[in-house]
């Protein structure tokens, strides 16, 4: 959707956008845990579009907000003993948070076609703002996501 002549408002849904961490040490023991979350990720970004000559390619830096709903969670012993469980297991401190939110920033190279479809080559960094492990604040831990994504895609308008 165009906000202005060369400024797009972009949203969508990415299923099972995986995020995680390794080597989270618990306060009351020497056990080190790794965790992996799968989110349904819903970004909303503003992207100005700058044409790159007559080639049909455009440059689109973007910034916005994202919201994620946790769809899966797995915790493993990061010392590779083979132990694995879900996040709802109280022996590892309980569940992960069910939501995540933050700020995506990045850069798109866009090739637009008639009818609104486009090819994308993009690089994005998600700056997480939510602690994703329950009780992390109480333990003095900061468990926010910082992910870098490089990708290639094809989009088409639904309107």
The pLDDT assigned to 153 comes to: 87
Of residues 93 and 24, which shows the higher confidence score? 24
Tell me what the mean pLDDT of segment 49-66 comes to. Answer: 91
Global pTM exceeds 0.85: no
Total domains in the fold of the chain:
1
**46: pLDDT confidence band, cut at 50, 70 and 90?**
very high
Strands (E), the chain: 2-4, 7-11, 14-25, 32-48, 50-51, 57-77, 84-86, 99-112, 118-128, 146-155
Share of the chain above pLDDT 90, in %: 20
Range of the domain at 39: 2-155
Give the pLDDT confidence score for residue 28 in this predicted structure. 55
């Amino acid at each position: 959707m165009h906000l202005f002549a060369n400024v797009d408002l972009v949203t969508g849904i990415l299923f099972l956008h995986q995020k995680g961490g390794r080597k989270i040490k618990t306060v009351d023991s020497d056990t080190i845990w790794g965790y992996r979350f799968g989110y349904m990720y819903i970004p909303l970004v503003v992207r100005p579009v700058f044409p790159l000559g007559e080639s049909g390619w455009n440059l689109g830096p973007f910034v916005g907000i994202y919201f994620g709903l946790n769809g899966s969670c797995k915790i493993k012993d990061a010392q590779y003993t083979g132990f694995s469980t879900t996040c709802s297991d109280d022996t590892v401190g309980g569940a992960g948070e069910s939501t995540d939110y933050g700020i995506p920033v990045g850069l798109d190279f866009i090739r637009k076609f008639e009818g609104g479809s486009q090819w994308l080559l993009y690089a994005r960094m998600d700056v997480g703002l939510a602690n994703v492990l329950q009780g992390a604040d109480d333990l003095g831990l900061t468990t926010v996501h910082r992910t870098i994504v490089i990708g290639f895609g094809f989009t088409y308008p639904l309107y």
